[in-house]
Structure 1
């Protein structure tokens, strides 16, 4: 990573950004597809800053998505984590135009106060993030966006904490990963600032952030009730111990194209397939539904019905 945020040890411990060649990545994806993998996730600390010159051509992340979209057997392509200032229009348009690209972005805001973002050395303002979100909403309506936040960072006040709460309400993140600040030796924040905010204050602010985020998540998830979503089935859910009467059905879990967790009852053999699920209930973290009957291809020679 080349960003050098004041609280983070990654640039000093793992070194500068390096982008693997498109040829190498594409070869690995094809091997995974041959092994039956249906979804690939491209990983990087700031993955949307990907760039690599191959055979005299500069490839960016949007170009990489186009290449992977052509790989037979792959149904979904995701990437994490993204940096706000590197969220280019060509990347958003690639997600819009490619059927296998998921409409989900993980783009950490980290804080809702410009003064704290400056102390964090994040390199952008809340206004910059707002402009990015406007482009996301214009080009990718319905796209889910998740965020990271740090509470209790040096320089955070009650007033700036309230701005973080307001940012969750404004941007309506699908979910947020919220962390209490802890001093990391070797970081600029540890060198320049004392960790003076009491742990009980950090814990309270953390819980307040979670409460607001859970409310937003459940409100937005409720918009899926009565709708059908396409789900890439991962397999039995954690609570799938209870069989449904005499059938082979049990509770399965998968993810929608906008990365929402979906649970429903169905045949365990659905793992790895795409299924249509109608949503009838929600929690802040999960869509709950029933599978819509259809045929799915189990192997080259047979098709099996999906259980309702």
Structure 2
């Protein structure tokens, strides 16, 4: 135990010259994008940020959710060292490997250790202590606003609780202040974003998704928290001209008042990311997801009843431990029945420290995983094309992004609530700001992926 604790914070014994400049490369989720903004704030007074080509030290903000992501980081470390760069590793991979990385890089800092990064760059070493950090006082001016960090769900396949720690939420007032007056899009971020709870002020009672109560435990002191639905309302009032999104949620934390908030607050995107992971109850039980397929689909139906034109995205894992062909067919069936505008589909990758790594055999052959993943992708694509056809004829709120890449002189492009690309003819009497202004577009046709239409007043 003493040896493990000693590796959490360790300075190099040899003299390390302070780098004159740095660059950041960000990999992985949107939370890492937000965290890179936090790192920049921490370093801006003492260090000059520049391009990777010019920087003396390159900081890699890393992901550890799959082995493939880590292998890419190792490859990148080798490339940078061949170029003569000094390298630091931040993020989830830093938290997972800690001092083991010091054999290969100068600086290792976990997600809760960025306040100490200015000093760490001077000395070299590792600081990978998990804590209660939320960086509530740090303003990044990014469209990604971190509101909650960590995860208590302990899904059997997931390394996040070990790299991000226990759940904790930022005070509501600090979030509202950061969002005040924003335009364009605001994405509220958390490892389990809809479990948000600010216990520092009075608020609403903690509730879980209808039908999920047998599978989840209620938290203590539930009556003294501002919950996620209330936070959405507060952010909407603070930034009425912004479109509000949130990720990544858990299905168990969608009580009816949250569905109603999404429906009733006009500038909350009518798109819900609803990670399913599998369509088999047997696999879900091994994953320790805390719900069954029937309760998941009931949530989808309640969302459709309460939120007009709601769309969904999801996550699925192909080839989890013990997954049979019958289990796989059930997952294909769920994708077919629900229909998703977007999905993140991956082969299962065993992660150290997880329940699955300790208790289950990774017994699905790699070639079977690949085949099943391709079948999931194919089924998802069919549903996505069908949903694109259903979007024709409707008026969509579209965030202006600029000239359409394939028609830059005649057409503009933007994204709708479902993150679909919408392409429409230029209207020169409109003066639009990229990433800030919205237009209403009536969709007339689709190629199965993008939507095409005209601006309406």
TM-score by length of 2: 0.59
Matched, 1:117 2:284: yes
Q: CA deviation at 1:288?
A: 2.2
Question: In the alignment, which residue of structure 2 is the partner of 1:262?
Answer: 422
Distance 1:5 1:252 in 2: 42
Question: In the alignment, which residue of structure 2 is the partner of 1:29?
Answer: 179
- Which of 337, 343, 347 is equivalent to 1:180? 347
How many residues align? The count is 282
- Which of 358, 377, 390 is equivalent to 1:191? 358
Matched, 1:80 2:247: yes
Question: In the alignment, which residue of structure 2 is the partner of 1:2?
Answer: 152
Q: CA deviation at 1:269?
A: 4.8
- Which of 139, 143, 154 is equivalent to 2:321? 154
RCO comparison, higher one (Cα < 8 Å, 6+): 1
Question: In the alignment, which residue of structure 1 is the partner of 2:438?
Answer: 274
Question: In the alignment, which residue of structure 2 is the partner of 1:38?
Answer: 184
1:171-250 residue pairs with structure 2 within 5 A? 171-237=338-404, 239-240=405-406, 242-244=408-410
Matched, 1:49 2:209: no
Do the aligned partners of 1:231 and 1:277 also contact (CA within 8 Å) in 2?
Answer: yes
Describe the shift of the 1:234–1:243 C-alpha distance in structure 2 as closer, same or farther (beyond 3 A).
closer
Describe the shift of the 1:285–1:82 C-alpha distance in structure 2 as closer, same or farther (beyond 3 A).
farther
1:96-115 residue pairs with structure 2 within 5 A? 96-115=263-282
TM-superposition CA deviations, 1:56-109 (whole Å, max 9, x none): 332111111111111255321111111111111000111111111111100100
TM-superposition CA deviations, 1:196-240 (whole Å, max 9, x none): 222221111111111111111111110122332221212334x25
- Where in structure 2 are there 5+ consecutive unaligned residues? 1-150, 204-224
- Which of 53, 60, 76 is equivalent to 2:227? 60
Structure number with larger C-alpha Rg: 2
Do the aligned partners of 1:41 and 1:79 also contact (CA within 8 Å) in 2?
Answer: yes
Matched, 1:89 2:256: yes
Do the aligned partners of 2:322 and 2:362 also contact (CA within 8 Å) in 1?
Answer: no
Q: CA deviation at 1:241?
A: 6.2
Could you say what the CA RMSD is over the residues aligned between the two structures, in angstroms? 1.8
Q: CA deviation at 1:259?
A: 3.5
TM-score by length of 1: 0.86
